[in-house]
Structure 1
């Protein structure tokens, strides 16, 4: 079930950015054609081999409550993200610039698997929660406070930018035997004709 849910997450990468009146222009799920070319290549993480056993440290499932990234002064609450009735991932509300979204049908941060956390880089009116996400580097640490009272700490492995028309879906969304997190936002140039950014920034991190 988790693998199937994570496979749908390829729709997320075009949702989080924009500085026109309609900053969020969702793309279709991977089995359909992208809208306006804004979605990444439609790879299916479920096509790869599933992990057979958990590796390394991991925590039981618990919903995230707050994201703390000291280096870039992020202290933001979470909202749950879900696939809407049209098959599109619903983004965090753009009216709240200090809000991150967690794909609730995937792994929770700290749980074995790939947990997806996404946020806007900007909105129609101002910079948003992930405006400085590109400053993170290998070895930086961030934290997720969880509903069970625990704090999951993550160490950044890399921060990489990918063109949306050449997005490595399997690498970003594919399941893992470790407890890992992906922080995702928009990057690159803003194309006013399609109201979308050209790239996505993905921060890869693991539970420590």
Structure 2
């Protein structure tokens, strides 16, 4: 077990946050619906407050396909991480942050139900815990994803939205740029963000120091 894994699974008496929910402010879903302008080319290598994770050069990605119609997500499958998780709609808490799934349901993924539905045009947001007090949770290995890998979202109309990962980034919480993290990369595309905690666990604030954000776009459909 690595030092990072020991840090995540230890920590007697700490109150895990699972995801730095306060970063997901109410205005984020407006960016997901392409209401504001977004800087392009943010998949370029970065340093400092925004760190790229495992972005090999020369990875050929498939073209985007046309967005799908209106349907709610039911399950998300991530073959590379051996994740198959039920998706539940979540709202906002009093702080304007997405309510996470309860810790006793740490294997469930939350979807911002008032935002974009996965497969439709815009940016849909899926959030999951990285760990609990005693064990890894559904997005524990999210930072290990690589460009070109597949994320499949089963929807309630029977269709499967197939997303290809573009990049994986770690955003420091104290200098977080929500538009850069969650804003649509290309107008008119169906995009997806998977979000969990990253960095290290800060005992003073009882939360993690960063967020891991996996960015993907719709590249195929299935039944």
Provide the TM-score with structure 2 as the length reference. 0.71
Instruction: Give 1:85 shift.
Output: 4.3
Retained in 2: the 8 A contact 1:61–1:107?
no
Number of matched pairs: 177
User: 1:201 maps to what in 2?
Assistant: 212
- Residues 157-172 of structure 1 correspond to what in structure 2 (within 5 A)? 157-172=166-181
User: 2:130 maps to what in 1?
Assistant: 121
Matched, 1:181 2:192: yes
Instruction: Give 1:30 shift.
Output: 5.3
1:162-182 CA-partner distances (Å, limit 9, x unpaired): 101122211222244210000
Larger CA deviation: 79-88 vs 162-171: 79-88
User: 1:88 maps to what in 2?
Assistant: 97
Q: Structure 2: where are the runs of 5+ without partners?
A: 1-7, 39-63
Which stretches of structure 1, 4 residues or longer, exceed 6 Å deviation after superposition? none
Retained in 1: the 8 A contact 2:22–2:95?
no
Cα RMSD after superposing both structures:
2.6
User: 2:36 maps to what in 1?
Assistant: 48
d(CA) in 1 for partners of 2:125, 2:188: 15
Instruction: Give 1:97 shift.
Output: 2.1
Tell me which of 69, 89, 106 is aligned to 2:115: 106
1:31-59 CA-partner distances (Å, limit 9, x unpaired): 9xxxxxxxxxx9x8477249xxxx84110
Tell me which of 67, 71, 78 is aligned to 1:62: 71
1:42-88 CA-partner distances (Å, limit 9, x unpaired): 9x8477249xxxx8411012110001001101000011110134533
User: 1:23 maps to what in 2?
Assistant: 16
Larger of the two Rg values belongs to structure: 2
d(CA) in 2 for partners of 1:143, 1:132: 17
Matched, 1:152 2:145: no
CA shift in 2, pair 1:28/1:118, >3 Å = closer
Q: Structure 1: where are the runs of 5+ without partners?
A: 1-16, 32-41
Larger CA deviation: 120-129 vs 18-27: 18-27
User: 1:132 maps to what in 2?
Assistant: 141
d(CA) in 2 for partners of 1:71, 1:112: 25
d(CA) in 1 for partners of 2:139, 2:173: 18
